[in-house]
Amino acid sequence: MTSLSKIQRVALLAASTTVITAGVLVPTSAFAAAAPVGVVTTTVAGSAGSADAAAQWTQTTDAPSGVTVQLPGQAHTETIDEDGIEARVHDVTTDYGFIRFTVFEGPDDGQGWDLTGSLQKQLDMHNKDAAQSSGATLTGEDVQEGTTAEGLPALDAALTATDGTAGDTRLIDLGPYMVQVVVLGTTDDQQAMEADYLRVLNGLELSGGDAATRSL
């Protein structure tokens, strides 16, 4: 299976990539998002049920993979290439924290991506950093492996920490690509986070090798 090493820090799901200020999670300077690069966007109506009701939901396309997603605002995009794996990270800051859409690209060895192992390595990396900074340990709860409606391997998990950090993530194996969606904030905004998370997943479109569009 395709494995990830240091590049997993790019898709890290927790406070090692954020700081909590007055209950709001924002990216730290070390992981500050770059200006949008190669992102195709169109503006659509905002979501009254989201934490940031004024946000304009915007279509973001990861050009190399053709994967398209709806995000509450224009994404800041950063590309990292390390150990033969490229990660294109699309971040949007919200009132409660952030939403992250990442596309990993690596050699297609025919074995697929190790979704469970990828999530666990991300958590291990975060918790190692959190221990050094006295941060709370992040855990993956209710981890479920299965498939999408189209039969693509997928993993879903809830993210929790004792300091009130909470969120959800989904990883999807597309062969040469692995797609990850993360919504992270605090338990105080659980309802808004879950509403946004479902909207992101419902707006996620995956482009197959035959250029046909597949929607989750």
Is residue 150 domain-resident? Answer: yes
State pLDDT tens for residues 65-101.
999 999 999 898 988 887 778 889 999 999 989 999 9
Domain, as residue range, for 90: 6-215
Q: What is the pLDDT of residue 41?
A: 31
Q: Distance between CA atoms of 5 and 85, rounded to whole angstroms?
A: 9
Residue 13 banded pLDDT, cuts 50, 70, 90:
very low
State pLDDT tens for residues 146-167.
998 778 999 999 998 888 888 9
Contact (CB, 8 A) for 194 and 156: no
Is residue 126 domain-resident? Answer: yes
Q: For the residues 12-26, what does the mean pLDDT come to?
A: 34
Is residue 211 domain-resident? Answer: yes
Check which CATH number belongs to the domain holding 201 and give it: 3.40.1000.10
Is residue 1 domain-resident? Answer: no
Q: Distance between CA atoms of 110 and 71, rounded to whole angstroms?
A: 31
Using a CB cutoff of 8 Å and minimum separation of 24, what contacts does 122-130 make?
A: 122/8, 122/11, 122/12, 122/13, 123/13, 123/14, 125/8, 125/9, 125/12, 125/16, 126/12, 126/13, 126/14, 126/15, 126/16, 129/16, 130/14, 130/15, 130/16
* pLDDT of residue 183 exceeding 70: yes
* pLDDT of residue 111 exceeding 90: no
Q: Distance between CA atoms of 154 and 178, rounded to whole angstroms?
A: 10
Is residue 97 domain-resident? Answer: yes
CA distances from 23 to 91, 95, 181 (A): 19, 10, 22
Is residue 104 domain-resident? Answer: yes
Is residue 35 domain-resident? Answer: yes
* pLDDT of residue 5 exceeding 70: no
pTM over 0.85: no
Around Cβ 210, how many Cβ atoms within 10 Å?
6
Integer-rounded Cα radius of gyration of the chain: 16
Using a CB cutoff of 8 Å and minimum separation of 24, what contacts does 52-55 make?
A: 52/94, 52/95, 55/94
Contact (CB, 8 A) for 97 and 24: yes
- How many folded domains does the chain comprise? 1
Q: What is the pLDDT of residue 29?
A: 24
Greatest mean pLDDT among 39-43, 123-127, 184-188, 208-212: 184-188
Compare 216 and 58 and report the one with higher pLDDT: 58
Residue 4 banded pLDDT, cuts 50, 70, 90:
low
Q: Distance between CA atoms of 39 and 181, rounded to whole angstroms?
A: 17
Is residue 44 domain-resident? Answer: yes
Q: Distance between CA atoms of 66 and 190, rounded to whole angstroms?
A: 30
